[in-house]
Structure 1
């Protein structure tokens, strides 16, 4: 896999720094192509780890990932001196966790949730695109993926009830 090692902004980060490590999605955001997709893939083991917990605990950890993500993404963005650099993918990690709230068990539903989240994150229908353009800082980096996760969650639950 090719990495973005030549990007000068990335040279300001270190995977040994816990904030940078999380912001880069455990290193997955360093992929040269589709870092957001790789960041979402990196969220799968975390999802599998916490999916066995009770729903209130899962939701609490997901909310914590969003709140912490505001700081994590803001700090990495400031350290890089670039707003919402593509390598910052903690927002994708949190977005997938949101998508999978109360998701039915099984790999098929995980794949459907993954695809739905990526569709909303990439296409950015209104108001996701508006938020992405107008809101800045760590909150701005996180909010469009939070909303994409909520849209994907609604669709996933809708599909489950239809099937």
Structure 2
């Protein structure tokens, strides 16, 4: 079960760019969760994926030697991307929730911006993202994506503020 969850039930085996595939699938799932239960459901799913994802990463990487260039952060492990992407999507979902908009309303920039920002920070690995990635342990596998998700959420909020301020 660790392997299935860590690879998001096989998405992690897709090539090229398994992290991008996982992020895209998570955006679709996050959008569906938002439409079903608005921000509370997206937030709950984020917490569940964080907890279950960490459990799966610890179990999947147990006994792996950090010998190659990936260490234990193997390309097929993508549940961490799902967790980070959900964090980024929480910003959009929360924005609509607190604005009192119905769950059916979510324009495409509110989905695309968190996706693009998350992928940017996950690949670029600035500051805390890179520090977490350098840990080379199970917590680091997840934490770099948590930080990338937090940065993407902040960037999405800033971009929305600029966009709505200009409109």
Cα distance, 1:107 vs structure 2: 2.2
* Cα drift, residue 114 of structure 1: 0.7
Unaligned runs of 5+ in 2: 67-71, 97-105
1:70 to 50, 54, 70: 54
Secondary structure at the counterpart of residue 9 of structure 2: helix
Q: In structure 2, how many angstroms separate the alpha carbons of the residues matched to 1:136 and 1:96?
A: 20
Partner of 1:44: 27
Q: Deviations over 1:56-88 (max 9, x none)?
A: 332122112111111111112227666111100
User: Displacement, 1:149?
Assistant: 0.2
What are structure 1's unaligned runs of at least 5 residues? 1-17
CA RMSD of aligned residues (A): 1.8
- Is the Cα contact below 8 Å between 1:26 and 1:42 reproduced in 2? no
Q: How does 1:87-98 map to 2 (within 5 A)?
A: 87-98=76-87
Q: Which runs of 4+ in 1 moved over 6 A?
A: none
Report the alpha carbon displacement of residue 21 of structure 1 after superposing the two structures with TM.
2.1
The TM-score with structure 2 as length reference comes to 0.79
**8 Å Cα contact 2:30/2:42 also seen in 1:** no
SS where residue 152 of structure 2 aligns? helix
Kindly state the Cα deviation for residue 49 of structure 1 after the two structures are TM-superposed: 2.3
- TM-score under structure 1 normalisation? 0.80
Secondary structure in structure 1 of the residue aligned to 2:90: coil
